[in-house]
Amino acid sequence: MTVTTPGAGTPATQPLDGINVSVDGIEVNVPKGTLVIRVAEQLGVAVPRFCDHPLLDPVAACRMCLVEIEGQPKPQPACAITVTEGMKVRTQLTSEIADQAQKGVMEFLLINHPLDCPICDKGGECPLQNQAMANGRGETRFDGVKRTFPKPINVSAQILLDRERCVSCARCTRFAEQIAGDPFIDLLERGAKQQVGIGDDTPFDSYFSGNTIQICPVGALTSAKYRFRSRPFDLVSTPTICEHCASGCSLRTDVRRSTVLRRQAWDNPDVNEEWNCDKGRFAFGYQADGRIEHPLVRDESGELVAASWPEAIAIAAEGLKAAGSRSAVFTGGRLTVEDAYSYAKFARVVLGTDNIDFRSRTATAEEADFLAAHVAGRFDGPSYADLEAAPVVLLVDFEPEDESPIVFLRLRKASRHGVRVASIAPFASSGLTKLKGSLISAGPGQQPALIASLTDNVAASDSAQTATLLREQGSVILVGERAAQTPGTLAAVADLARTTGAKLAWIPRRAGERGALDAGALPGLLPGGRPLDNDQARVQVAGEWGIEIDQLPPVGLSLTEVVSTVHADNSALASAADPTKVERSITALLIAGVEAGDLEDPASFLMAVDSVPFVVSLEQRHSDVTQRADVVLPVAAAAEKAGAFTNWEGRTQTFGQVLRDALTMSDSRVLAMIATVAGSQFGRGDIAEIRSEFRRIGPWSGNHTHMSDVGSVDTIELSSGEALVSTWRPLLDRGVLQEGDPYLAATARPVEARLSRATADAVGATEFVVVSTDNGSIELPVTITQMPDGVIWLPTNSEGSSLRVELGIGQGSVVRLSGGAA
């Protein structure tokens, strides 16, 4: 953009296809298609507006932004007029007509707007209030009767609507239709009775509903969670990064008197634009209630009792030091980059073990291989912007609306502009439908063969186009963490990317997984994606850590391998003639943020935790693990510490400490205390020190490992009445981080089982289906879905459908089906 003032001569540079316009006498050259209101913004002229939103299609409904355009008989809405060559625009700053028009509209907007600013959530941060102060008249001329409505009404359990405050700008309804693709709210009635509303039985249960509150230019939409809780001017705000999923949304966290009251999406054009999902917005209650408040240790009778920090740290240090390389570290997927790095370093430096695994979910050796070869320490994958420019985006075992909602929103934006989306999945989900995507139907186990057919360009006709488009420049493959649950899938995806040249990204569900991977919290991987068995990598890391190269441990065990090793130890002990002669391979566990119910076999894991002699747990809330630990050390939740998360793109974004007077310590700080007492060289565990150390190590520039061959995969023969399970977690379910947020939980999608008509008929499941294994059974309502026969889809961890804990099953497991009665 080139700005000149009249008489200043020809600007030195002019874009070739730019349009010359003037706003308030300032001449400017802007790209074709620019809206007048955007030109004004670029020049620093604030034209008042309500319905205009840069990410929504123009509607020109509120008429607040009327400006004078030379040659036009009437004032024109700046939000809906694109520039033309030579256009002369005069805003309220230089045009009496524009100024009068805007003042008139402002007066109209206020006649029916209640004067309840003192009790309105929006008061103090309200565009209507602000612009009324700037452009409105001091006293009203309206002495009639205002239109009123009964108030408020619930458009969903979470979103409340005070209709008399609404100025009919249609931002919320346009958001729901254009951005989220969930048009459950719309304008109803006409004239002054026009109002936002929902259908009789269709509440606004969109995963993105909270955004409408934020873009509402008045206080018409409020959340059950925040309504009447605070005034904006009492809030202290901190820019943060969402701790829920791997999308990496920038947020603003608002605190009043040391309590987090609200989170909002923050502008980040490269990532979440101006949106976030309802989980990121509303699920933060877990940080407030039910926290572990002080260290706990086991007393002589075996009870967990409160202890002082020095006492607990001393016991932890002693126990862990004694175990040394016979310990293992499980970090969970929710740590900040800095904390994950501290665990990675603590395991290698303080414990001398490589037994470390961040994956608290089903995790295979194939996945570890894939991550080391294609993800860890690599930053050449696709970005959000690449999704918008791709000829095709192929989703493999990845349900973006549930697993990474902002990826979903960006894909939806892309699909509205013609980007094609294809998904290898058992059925066309509502998310895929909203992306206008095509389904490449695959029951559990069929993915590798289907992917191979794309690789070999011999795909069936309905996916042949995807195979062709994948070979075009800029295509993208997004693979979800679920792919690890079907052997051969990740290897096939890697092959497909290599053959077609498509960009490949792995999108885990949790915010901390990519960061933990880059930090080296996986066996065989040092920070920056360095292979542990590479000499140069060892030299670099050992040098930075101040240890000898040979002090670095050999390649260790994954979580699954540790658990089976513990069970092998137990068997050996049980069968040994003289148990004192048997040495355990694993004698201590250091566990952070692992929810047993998320693991492939929760019971087996907890039995292992029970039998390992010494367990240290760093946790925020009580869990199955803390109950079994010998030392429990409370650590800071996301709002209580500074840190960073690395999102699926590999983009690391830092955030500050929200609750600045929190007394809790970060995992890094607690680990540093243990290390100090254990007499190890570790550091202070403060964030600046960790960041600079991690930055000095940097990403690995040497060769990455290659995936080893997966070998052939056995096909499963189903008997009559059996089905294969396909499963993932809906965005809103029984996740621990959603605890304490009942309004949010009430907007979750109904828990249901999906079956094909033939599968349902074969077992007599008309309305309900009973799903059983040797572990137990559950009964769920049936939704007949077009999907492969002999497959049942179930939510992984929802109310009444807790597959791991209740049935001991996961993706690809075999279950027995029968008709239900309930």
Binding site for other proteins (CB under 8 A): 58-64, 66, 73-75, 80, 100-101, 104-105, 107-109, 111-112, 141-142, 144-145, 147, 167-168, 186-194
Least distance to other proteins from the beta carbon of 64, Å?
A: 7
User: In terms of Cα–Cα distance, which of 80, 66, 232 is closest to 135?
Assistant: 66
Can you tell me the distance from the alpha carbon of 731 to that of 279, in angstroms, rounded to the nearest whole number? 7
Question: Which residues have C-beta within 8 Å of that of residue 365, sequence separation ≥ 6?
Answer: 558
Q: Is the peptide bond preceding residue 152 cis, with omega within 30 degrees of 0?
A: yes
Can you tell me the distance from the alpha carbon of 762 to that of 769, in angstroms, rounded to the nearest whole number? 11
Least distance to other proteins from the beta carbon of 704, Å?
A: 49
Least distance to other proteins from the beta carbon of 78, Å?
A: 13
Within 10 A of 701 (CB to CB), how many other CB atoms are there? 11
Going by their DSSP bridges, the two strands 791-795 and 722-728 should be labelled as parallel
Percent of residues in the chain assigned helix, strand, coil, to nearest 5: 35, 20, 45
State both tokens at 532: 């542990």
Cβ atoms 363, 707 nearer than 8 A: no
- Choose between 103 and 256: whose C-beta lies nearer to other proteins: 103
β-strand partners of 777 = 772
Least distance to other proteins from the beta carbon of 275, Å?
A: 24
State both tokens at 591: 């566990």
Report, in angstroms and rounded to the nearest whole number, the Rg of the chain calculated over CA atoms. 29
- Choose between 168 and 325: whose C-beta lies nearer to other proteins: 168
Query: Residue 356 is which amino acid?
Result: I
- Choose between 97 and 805: whose C-beta lies nearer to other proteins: 97
End-to-end CA separation in angstroms for the chain: 66
| DSSP 8-state class, residue 220 | S
Residue 33 CA, distance from chain mean position: 34
- Choose between 103 and 471: whose C-beta lies nearer to other proteins: 103
Least distance to other proteins from the beta carbon of 172, Å?
A: 15
Least distance to other proteins from the beta carbon of 159, Å?
A: 21
Least distance to other proteins from the beta carbon of 107, Å?
A: 7
- Choose between 168 and 423: whose C-beta lies nearer to other proteins: 168
Cβ atoms 728, 780 nearer than 8 A: no
Least distance to other proteins from the beta carbon of 379, Å?
A: 42
Least distance to other proteins from the beta carbon of 388, Å?
A: 23
- Choose between 50 and 694: whose C-beta lies nearer to other proteins: 50
Can you tell me the distance from the alpha carbon of 494 to that of 479, in angstroms, rounded to the nearest whole number? 10
β-strand partners of 260 = 255
Can you tell me the distance from the alpha carbon of 547 to that of 526, in angstroms, rounded to the nearest whole number? 14
What are the angstrom distances between the C-alpha of 773 and each of 723, 768, 804, 818?
Answer: 11, 17, 11, 12
- Choose between 168 and 327: whose C-beta lies nearer to other proteins: 168
- Choose between 126 and 394: whose C-beta lies nearer to other proteins: 126
Can you tell me the distance from the alpha carbon of 216 to that of 128, in angstroms, rounded to the nearest whole number? 10
State both tokens at 749: 């999608």
- Choose between 141 and 257: whose C-beta lies nearer to other proteins: 141
Least distance to other proteins from the beta carbon of 144, Å?
A: 4
State both tokens at 250: 């920038």
- Choose between 74 and 257: whose C-beta lies nearer to other proteins: 74
- Choose between 193 and 294: whose C-beta lies nearer to other proteins: 193
Least distance to other proteins from the beta carbon of 191, Å?
A: 4
